[in-house]
Amino acid sequence: MSAGFTTVSSSLFLTGLFGVVKLVSATAFMFVFVRMRGNRFWLKLGSAVCGASMLVLGEFCRYINFTAISNHPN
């Protein structure tokens, strides 16, 4: 588990709590900042960040030896 929780139910509760916090944060961001700068700016910025993240992930995956990972016994 994560964050010191040992049971499955407390871990699921923590996951749900994180989801609620993210929802409230995204809604507050939308109402405050999107109205200040407009929709197009945030759409372009979000697309650029997602694209950069995909490029970084792709670059990291280039150097990972996947055969060593898949042959590892469980």
CA distances from 25 to 18, 20, 29, 32, 37 (A): 10, 9, 6, 11, 17
Give the pLDDT score at 72: 56
Q: Average pLDDT by consecutive 10-residue portion of the chain (74 residues)? A: 68 87 89 84 90 92 73 59
Report yes or no on whether pTM surpasses 0.75: no
Give the pLDDT score at 1: 44
Give the pLDDT score at 22: 93
